[in-house]
Amino acid sequence: MTATALVNVAELVTWEAEHPIRHHAGVVVEDGRVAWLGDSADTPAADEVIDVAGGTVIPGFVDSHTHLVFAGDRAAEFTARMAGQRYEAGGIQTTVAATRAASEAELARLLAARHRELIAQGTTTVEIKSGYCLDVAGETRSLQLARSLTPETTFLGAHVVPPGWTADAYVELVTGEMLTACAPFARWIDVFCETGAFDVDQARAVLTAGKAAGLTPRIHANQLGHGPGVQLACELGAAAADHCTYLKDADISALAETSVVAGLLPGVEFATRHPYPDARRLLEAGVRVSLATDCNPGTSYTSSMAFCLALAVREMGMTPTEALHAGTRGGAWSPAARGRRSPGAGGASRPGGAGRPSHVHLAYRPGVPLVRRVLTADRWRPAAELPDCPA
């Protein structure tokens, strides 16, 4: 085994029950997993020693909701929304047309570049959905490409209804031939349960079929208005109900009584001008909360978990520590074995200006490239080594 030790860590975020945040710490990583934590002076010998020089080490971000397999651009739609046009689910069709038209080589290039962009900003675990082809061959191709980068792949054939189909007929395709083709390349199944996409009965049919095929349900729920998505997630024991923008007391109670994670995606509210979810209300009710980017070309074209943390602190009532927990441990409740430490030790941040560096700087200094090194499953990589991403 190859071991790497980090020493002189001013702040080490561990989320351990007794020592969630350690100071003057050291950490040893063996073959991509944390093997030892303690005082810096007691750090065991290792094959490689990295002096963090008073920096901060955090767990890698777990981005538990992304749509990275796509082609095309929807900047015009963003511009229109900033001028007051309301977001509607139908805009997805623009991306579907561009993604269907792209070659596999082009999609692979774009996906790899976006994946590198996430890693460079401290994300070590990422979930990737299909959903921008809406036909059997294209959805299968999308999942095969995603599976080459992560085991956390989600079949989202039920994103919207493609032109020329009725919703019920398309659900039959999704739960039949498309599911059969896609299930071998997916771990999760998802559905957009929303006005303009799929109603609760159609969503239940999709998720139930996915469960029967060995996939774990998750759901796009309560994004554009109050709806049945969160209740359906709790009914079926889904891993996560993502968005959760519009919730009633009964929804929060249902989430608190189950292990369903409320996945909050503040980049969406930023880009669509919808109200932000009330994270404080969820946390005080005892609901498990995660933060993710929802990286996609239409409603949240960001790969920055730090940006999402800053929005959660500024707009959603979270403390910087709660936001970091939701973007790391909270995400791991959803796309990995619940509560398991995400692969890698995460990132070593640059000193945060005057005073002792802290995880708080992730939200305090949004947009500043604080990540210096990222440990993925293979090795520590300086962020500067990671290739540039597409414009």
pLDDT at residue 390, rounded to an integer: 34
Domain formed by 3-60+341-385, architecture = Roll (2.30)
pLDDT at residue 384, rounded to an integer: 44
What residues contact 289, with CB distance under 8 A and at least 6 apart?
Answer: 261, 262, 263, 264, 279, 282, 283, 322, 326, 330
- CATH 2.30.40.10-classified regions of the chain: 3-60+341-385
pLDDT at residue 376, rounded to an integer: 64
Burial 148-180 (b: 16+ CB within 10 A, else e): ebbebbbbbbbbbbbeeeeeeebbebbbeebbe
- Kindly state the tokens that stand for 344: 């890698």
- CATH 3.20.20.140-classified regions of the chain: 62-333
pLDDT tens for each residue of the chain, 391 residues long: 688 899 999 999 999 888 899 999 999 988 777 889 999 999 999 999 999 889 999 989 999 999 999 999 888 888 888 888 776 655 788 899 999 999 999 999 999 999 999 999 999 999 999 999 999 999 999 999 999 999 999 999 999 999 999 999 999 999 999 999 999 999 999 999 998 899 999 999 999 999 999 999 999 999 999 999 999 999 999 999 999 999 999 999 999 999 999 999 999 999 999 999 999 999 999 999 999 999 999 999 999 999 999 999 999 999 999 999 999 999 887 654 333 333 344 554 554 444 566 899 989 888 888 887 787 654 444 444 444 333 2
pLDDT at residue 335, rounded to an integer: 55
Is residue 104 exposed (0-12), middle (13-18) or buried (19+ Cβ within 10 Å)?
exposed
Enter the pTM of the model.
Answer: 0.90
CATH assignment, 62-333: 3.20.20.140
- Kindly state the tokens that stand for 97: 């047309």
Phi/psi for 68 (5° steps) reads -80, -15
What residues contact 339, with CB distance under 8 A and at least 6 apart?
Answer: 329, 332, 333
